[in-house]
Amino acid sequence: MTTLQFADTHNMVAFLSKPAESEGFEQIVDFLNANPIRYALTTNPTIYTLCIEQFWATIKVKIVNGEVQLQALVDGKKIIVTEASVRRDL
């Protein structure tokens, strides 16, 4: 498996304007602009970098009951991320 780690490019805010240089991306930009996820992509919230770094420094990929889980420790609390939790929260 690939080693998961924190990268400075995580949590970048998206600019959803149509690119002039890249043909073929107009439909994707239109879709994202019409979708409720646009807010999450374009809002510039406060990012707690220390928590993100702790997450990526302690993350482990595990399979529990046939389900892939990302397990990490942030501020002493166990964090578990599953596909179902991501789908629910989006």
The domain in which residue 69 lies consists of 26-89
pLDDT reported for residue 27: 79
Q: Residue 81: inside a domain, yes or no?
A: yes
Query: For the whole model, what pTM was predicted?
Result: 0.51
Q: Residue 1: inside a domain, yes or no?
A: no
Q: Please list the rounded mean pLDDT of every run of 10 residues in the chain (90 residues).
A: 60 60 74 77 74 91 94 94 90
Q: Residue 6: inside a domain, yes or no?
A: no
Q: How far apart are CA 68 and CA 86, in angstroms?
A: 12
Q: How far apart are CA 65 and CA 83, in angstroms?
A: 13
How many other C-beta atoms lie within 10 A of the C-beta of residue 56? Answer: 16
pLDDT reported for residue 89: 86
How many other C-beta atoms lie within 10 A of the C-beta of residue 19? Answer: 12
Q: Residue 43: inside a domain, yes or no?
A: yes
Q: Residue 2: inside a domain, yes or no?
A: no
